[in-house]
Structure 1
Amino acid sequence: MQQLTERILAHATQLPEGAPVSAKGLLHLGNRAAVDQTLHRLAARGQLQRAGRGVYVLPVEGRFGTRPPTVEQVVSAVAAQRGEVIAPSGAAAANALGLTTQVPVRAVYLTSGRSRTFKLGKQSVELRHAPRWQLTLANRPAGEALRALAWLGPERAEEALETLKRKMPSGAFGELVAVAPQLPTWLARSVGKAAYG
């Protein structure tokens, strides 16, 4: 058992910071039951941190002790590992673009996968399943604008689009206009109005 513990820790330290460790990815080191038990023990000892059901992360050693990896690192690693598209929620996007002064209290991300929640230290991170059109251009400025507009809703979209048209680089606004046919009718109409006025 000690050898399996060392091999799992050695494997975890080889991964990029924030990369999730799961039993499924460690089956080359031992049988499923042994790997599950070892992961559980490592988490109980604080050598790994449980991020969610069957998912662990290696804590980061810093000047002030250990801390969990950043939310962005873990979310990015989960997206790569599971083949999902994951992007910040519309509320976070609207705040980042200056369309609202509301600061999201919880970390919420939209995903093409199933909805779920995981913990990083004391912080809870929610992954919410979203329709495909909200994840279009996921990690591009136009995608951020798209999610912000979806969150603002039909009542505030046109006003926000005028602000975005002034603030965004023309290429990014052009990308938003180009995906308009994929959007819900209310949003496609608002984007078209802002673009061709």
Structure 2
Amino acid sequence: MPVSVENKVKKAISNYKTGKIFFPSNFSKFGTSTAVRQALNRLEDNAFLLRLAHGIYLYPKKHPKFGILYPSIEEIAIAISKRDKARIIPTGIQALNKLGLSTQVPMNLVYLTDGSSRSIKVNNGSIKFKKASPKLLSVKSDSIILIIQALKELGKDNISAKDKERIKQVLSTVDKETLSHDVKLAPQWIADIIKELIEL
């Protein structure tokens, strides 16, 4: 008796640790897109999988005390970027948070990307992907990209001495050649701040 698409999908998922995120495209070799979707829907109905958003499924990890452990919105965004083989750049409060300039954790994330633009509703938040400018994508250092996005979020006149001290620490981890290349791609006022903080 031939093995059903559902059983093939279930077996494939079972080879991974719980907590992993899956997409219908992960199972395209098992059948048509319709058959795969129906299989995923049935596995969701049987509580083997959880649907996080349209076309995004979780192989749930359960904690004895806290129940299902959901991935963060950032983890979902990273999984989408890996599937799409796209680069994503955190913006706004998330960029501040990643640099240690804010303790606030945003529920609605906006990423700049070289992939396609779209918005996805997830749990209590959302993920928005916006087209990044070719200039920004030419920046080599992820640290410099974060600094550019963080300073844009703070605004030219709202950068404290403490912010500058932290940015200086991050800049000290970037090699001089990369720094010299990347600073030319930053908006002028941000380039001026970077030059002020570190001798080029």
**TM-score normalised by the chain length of structure 2:** 0.75
The one of 108, 115, 120 aligned to 2:118: 115
| Equivalent residue runs for 1:80-95 within 5 Å | 80-95=82-97
Partner of 1:156: 158
Instruction: Sort the Cα spacing of 1:158 and 1:180 in 2 relative to 1 into closer, same or farther, 3 A.
Output: farther
Partner of 2:183: 180
CA contact (8 A) 1:177 1:192 kept: no
CA contact (8 A) 2:110 2:129 kept: yes
Structure 1 residue 165 displacement after superposition: 4.8
d(CA) in 2 for partners of 1:130, 1:173: 28
Q: Larger helix proportion, structure 1 or 2?
A: 1
SS at match of 1:50: strand
CA contact (8 A) 1:17 1:69 kept: no
Aligned length: 193
Q: Deviations over 1:16-45 (max 9, x none)?
A: 655432223312111222211121222233
Is 1:13 aligned to 2:14, yes or no?
yes
Instruction: Sort the Cα spacing of 1:18 and 1:176 in 2 relative to 1 into closer, same or farther, 3 A.
Output: farther
SS at match of 1:61: strand
Deviates more, 1:178-187 or 1:68-77: 68-77
CA contact (8 A) 2:73 2:125 kept: no
Structure 1 residue 161 displacement after superposition: 6.4
| Equivalent residue runs for 1:2-151 within 5 Å | 3-15=4-16, 18-64=19-65, 65-100=67-102, 103-112=104-113, 113=115, 114-119=117-122, 122-132=123-133, 133=136, 136-137=139-140, 140-151=142-153
Segments of 5+ residues of structure 1 without an aligned counterpart are: none
Segments of 5+ residues of structure 2 without an aligned counterpart are: none
Deviates more, 1:56-65 or 1:28-37: 56-65
Instruction: Sort the Cα spacing of 1:91 and 1:52 in 2 relative to 1 into closer, same or farther, 3 A.
Output: same
CA contact (8 A) 1:60 1:69 kept: no
CA contact (8 A) 1:92 1:104 kept: yes
Is 1:192 aligned to 2:200, yes or no?
no
**Structure 2 counterpart of 1:168, one-letter code:** V
CA contact (8 A) 1:107 1:125 kept: yes
**Structure 2 counterpart of 1:6, one-letter code:** N
